[in-house]
Structures are given as structure tokens and as C-alpha cells.
A and B are shown apart, each in its own frame.
Chain A
Amino acid sequence: SQQGEEDPQALSIQEGENATMNCSYKTSINNLQWYRQNSGRGLVHLILIRSNEREKHSGRLRVTLDTSKKSSSLLITASRAADTASYFCATDARTGGFKTIFGAGTRLFVKA
């Protein structure tokens, strides 16, 4: 099964609301990344958080990491219609760590 699994699978909110997406993983990691994918396009890297970090911010994005629970969350504040996309977490495993494993993603729809 996949290393990273996002929750929820889909999320629909109004513009201006906050959106929270969660990611759980199974094995110890070196770092965790979040990516965004607009419909029909490739993935775009958003933010990377290392295993010794607990929280990271980038603009309207806030990522947390809880290694004891093997989980991460991505918060998008004051969402905009342009934030409509799929969001993926990706983990680099601590052992044999060359391979990055992606989850199945959360589809976010922001209504204007």
C-alpha cells in the first residue's frame, strides 16, 4: 500500500475559508513534501518539511509534521478559487531513501 495517504479524498469550501488536508505515512522519513497539481498539468512543489521540523510556513501555506503520529497537515488560509487543485504529500523514506513516494491526493474545490 502507499506510504503517504491523504485525507480527505475531496474537499469543497467557499472562497475565504481555510482548507486543511492531512497526510499519514507508515515508515520513518527523512522529509515530507507537499505538491499541487492543477487539472491536466504536472505537479508543482509547494513546501518541504524535514523530519526534525514541526511546522513550516510559506505565504498562505502552513505545514505541520508530527513524526510520533506519522502524520502531516497542509493548511491553506483564506482560500481563493485559484487554489482549486489536487494536493499530494510525498515522503522520502529514511532507509534506502532515494525513492520518493506520493500519496493519492486530496482534490480541493474552492467555490467563488
Chain B
Amino acid sequence: DVKVTQSSRYLVKRTGEKVFLECVQDMDHENMFWYRQDPGLGLRLIYFSYDVKMKEKGDIPEGYSVSREKKERFSLILESASTNQTSMYLCAGCRDRGGGQPQHFGDGTRLSIL
């Protein structure tokens, strides 16, 4: 069975801190995604990557960066955390770059910025 693992289920950080959210997949999928989920807004795409060291901006990349040094790992970085980045963050992997295949999600990291 496919598995996407996010390193933390809950995380509390302070304003201004640099925050790292880690995601690992065991599916050998090339495509990985970071979303944030807020009530009433659904999932919004922050960044995605379709290969090692490749990254593309999603709809809301401001304040975030990503790192993909290995195929199985995709990290989301909050350069200087702010309270409006308090949210649920979801990582996903997908086999087909062109769509038409399901995305496999981790259980999410609920991040609070104080």
C-alpha cells in the first residue's frame, strides 16, 4: 500500500522562526505537492515538484519555499513564520504528471504560529 508520511502531526512555533515541514513517500512517485487547508477554502496549492531539484510555484507560494534533494522527500520551509500561516498542511504524491491519477496524501501537519 502506498504511504506518504509527514514528520509531525502537530507543531507549535513562534512568529519569525524558520519552520521545516518534512514529507516522505515510498511510492517512487516523481510528483509531490504541498497544500494548505483552511476552513471554507479547501486545499490551496503552495508548491509542487515533478522531479528531484525541480520545483514549481502553486497558487500561494509567498512566504514559503521548498526543497527536493531526493526523490522520496519533499520539504516545505516557512522562511519567517507569521500568524497567518497557522493552518493544516498536507503533502501528497502522484504518479502521473499530466493528471488522471489519484494523489496520495499524508495525514497532515497542523501548524500553529504564536
Q: Do A and B bind each other?
A: yes
Binding site for B on A (CB under 8 A): 2, 4, 30-31, 33, 40-45, 48, 50, 88, 90, 92, 97-105
Given A30-B100, A45-B103, residue A88 in contact with residue B42 (CB < 8 A)? yes
B4 interface residue, CB < 8 Å from A? yes
- B100 and A31 contact, CB distance less than 8 A: yes
A73 vs B98: C-alpha distance when bound (angstroms): 24
**17 pairs, A vs B, C-beta closer than 8 Å:** A30-B98, A30-B99, A31-B99, A40-B110, A42-B108, A43-B90, A43-B103, A45-B102, A45-B103, A48-B101, A92-B98, A97-B99, A98-B50, A98-B97, A100-B94, A102-B43, A104-B40
A44 vs B90: C-alpha distance when bound (angstroms): 12
Q: Most chain-A CB neighbours within 10 Å: which of B43, B94, B98, B104?
A: B43
Q: A50-B100, A97-B99, A102-B42 are in contact. List 20 more A-B contacts (CB 8 A).
A: A40-B107, A40-B108, A42-B4, A42-B92, A42-B107, A43-B90, A43-B92, A43-B103, A43-B105, A48-B101, A88-B42, A88-B43, A92-B100, A98-B98, A100-B94, A101-B45, A103-B42, A104-B40, A104-B41, A105-B42
- A42 and B42 contact, CB distance less than 8 A: no
A4 vs B106: C-alpha distance when bound (angstroms): 22
CB distance from B40 to the nearest CB of A (A): 6
- How many B residues have CB within 8 A of the partner chain? 26
A101 vs B48: C-alpha distance when bound (angstroms): 13
A2 vs B35: C-alpha distance when bound (angstroms): 14
Tell me the residues in window 37-93 of chain B with beta carbons closer than 8 Å to chain A beta carbons: 40-43, 45, 48, 50, 58, 90, 92
Residues of the B chain whose Cβ atoms lie less than 8 Å from the Cβ of A90: 103
- A97 and B103 contact, CB distance less than 8 A: no
A103 vs B100: C-alpha distance when bound (angstroms): 17
- A99 and B45 contact, CB distance less than 8 A: yes
Residues of the B chain whose Cβ atoms lie less than 8 Å from the Cβ of A103: 42
The residue on A at minimum CB distance from B10 is A40
CB distance from B51 to the nearest CB of A (A): 12
- A42 and B105 contact, CB distance less than 8 A: yes
Given A42-B4, A42-B106, residue A48 in contact with residue B100 (CB < 8 A)? yes
